[in-house]
Each structure stands twice: as structure tokens, then as C-alpha cells.
A = this chain, B = another copy of it.
């Protein structure tokens, strides 16, 4: 039996109590009318959180990575050009998944820790007007950088779709699917939405859904084919797989908590506690990596002070104080920590608990 943890890594975060309690509600069959009504309500709640009216809005039965792959494999056909913004680990993953789907990937890069230039992405699309999509990670979980994506609304005047990774942003900072002209967006339940991991919320615009329906050949994946998932979770409810009732209940409850508090006030809470943490870290020797203009509140990447060893320090935090923080990735491996304040962990008590522990650790 393991103890409780304060989850301040890059995810999972601590789920809201309501989401945990919902998990033990009785399991229902995947086509039970009572479960379909939960699924319908999840769709309604997700539309509010994604800020969209998209009909095709549903949870994919897998984690955020499954949501990424469901979007790419359903929207891309072999040989399609895909423009991908890369300034961290998850931009690289977009490239890898798109390549496996048979796409010809064109990279638009920025250094790890810096933000992408939206004008460079638009310029790449002008060089490759035949591109099927431009894909960007909104909140780079590997660096704590927020990419500016609102200018990609200009893609609506082209035949190129706009695909947004909102795994770490949805529920933490504004994500405006309709307002920014996002054609495909995916997220995960276990970060700012405050539910346990296992499902990936996805939404597609009408033109993206038409693209899925009009493919010349089916996607390489059956499990992650968004056309089949649409026909399963919406009318005509054609059998596809056995979606996990327990995970649906938890997501339903987590979204209920977010919408009950109010989306704007949830964003404000993530911003407030993130800024509290970022306000004090430099004073105790942790240098913030992302520039202030593109710094995420819900995920902070900070360079370790001299004298703090990465693995040993995280071990003390975990074993003595029951706190998880994340290690650095890529060029920051061993040199920086990733500190998340997301979902139920996005509160003042998390900040003071961590600060107290860091003080003891450094002292």
C-alpha cells in the first residue's frame, strides 16, 4: 500500500475529490442508455471547456498521446504534407506520429525553452499551400513554454487545417477552439482538468470532420479512427470497443467541478498560484527557464541551484515529504525540474508545501 502524494510534476496532477469518488460508481455496459447519457453530458461539458460548438467532441479511450495519434492518423493520409512546430519534446512527438502516419513532415523550429513564431508557421504554410495541416503544441510540457497560437486563425482562409495540442493547457489557461479557428484539438484528463489519466478529450471542426469522412482510404489505426469513434459514441452507436465507464464517470465529475467553479475562475486560480511560485523560486536559487512573456503558470521549468542534485533532491522530496516534481527533459535533463500546479493541486497550499520542503532541502 503506497502513501498519498502531492503531485507537482508535469502530470498526472491530484484529481479533484469528486472525480475520485465518481470512479467507484457501478460499472455500466458501454451501450447502456444511462451510460450514453453520461457520454452525452461529457460532450456538452467538453464543448464548454474547449469553447466550441463542434458536434464531433468526444473522449478517446487512451491517454493524451492517444488523442494526438487519433487526430493525426485520422486527418492525414500517406504522402500528405504536415507542418509541425517544434520547440520541445512534444513537438518532436508530433513529428514522429505524423511520420508514422505516412506524412511528409516540414518542421518549423525554435530552441527548447523559447516560443515558436506564429508568423514562421504561417510562412511555412504559404510555402506549402498543399499542406494538410499545421500542428502546434500550445503548452510545451517539456519546457513550460506557451506558444502563441491565436494568429493561426489565418489558416481558416486556406485549405490547411490547424491542429492544436492542448494536453497541458486545457482547463489551465484560455483555449479558444472556435475563436482561434482550431480544426482539431486534443487534451488529457489528468492535468488541468483534474481527473485521473486514461481518456483523451478530442474535438474536430466541421471541415476536419468532413476530411475524416472523405478519406480515400481508412486510417492505419482502427482503434483510433475518429470516424468510427464518432459513430460509436454518437448516433448510431455502432459498437467499436468497450469504453471504460469508470473513467467516464471521473471525467464527467472533474468537468463538473471545473464548470461549477467557472472556467474563468479556474484559469485565474492556475495563474495566481503559478505566479506565486514563480515569484519566489528565483529568490531561493531556482532560475526560471521560460521568458516571462511565454511562461505557463501551470507548469514551471526551473534550473536547479548549485548544490542541489536532480535525482537525490527529487528522492528526498518524494520519500520524506511525499511530493512529486518532474525531472528535466532533453537539454534540461539533470539540470532543471518541471513543477506543475494543475487541477486540484493548483492551490496555495501546494505552493507553500513545496517551498517549505525546498527550504529544508537547500538548508
Contact = CB atoms under 8 A, between A and B. Distances in A.
B2 A246 contact: no
Interface stretch (A217-225, A263-271, A277-285, A297-305): A217-225
Contact of A69 (B65, B101, B221, B243): B221
A27 B15 contact: yes
A172 interface: no
A159 interface: no
Contacts of A190: 27, 242, 244
Find the residue from A11, A33, A66, A246 having the highest chain B CB count within 10 A.
A246
A61 interface: yes
Contact of A198 (B20, B224, B244): B244
B20 A24 contact: yes
A128 interface: no
Contacts of A32: 2, 5, 318, 324
B241 A244 contact: no
B64 A61 contact: no
B220 A66 contact: no
A179 interface: no
A63 B30 CA distance: 12
Interface string A1-19: 1111101010110110000
Nearest to A222: B97
A251 to B, nearest CB: 12
A5 B29 contact: yes
Interface string A138-154: 00000000000000000
A135 B172 CA distance: 45
Contact of A21 (B20, B24, B244): B24
A197 interface: yes
A222 B21 contact: no
Contact of A96 (B27, B29, B222, B247): B222
Interface in A29-47: 29-30, 32-35, 38
A62 B61 contact: yes
A223 B29 contact: no
A100 interface: yes
A352 interface: no
Contacts of A106: none
Nearest to A225: B100
Nearest to A326: B29
A2 B24 contact: no
Interface string A49-75: 000000000000111111001000100
Find the residue from A197, A243, A329 having the highest chain B CB count within 10 A.
A197
B219 A100 contact: yes
A25 interface: yes
22 contacts: A2-B26, A5-B26, A5-B32, A7-B27, A12-B29, A12-B242, A23-B246, A30-B197, A61-B66, A64-B242, A65-B240, A65-B241, A69-B222, A69-B223, A73-B220, A97-B222, A100-B220, A101-B220, A188-B242, A197-B245, A198-B244, A223-B224
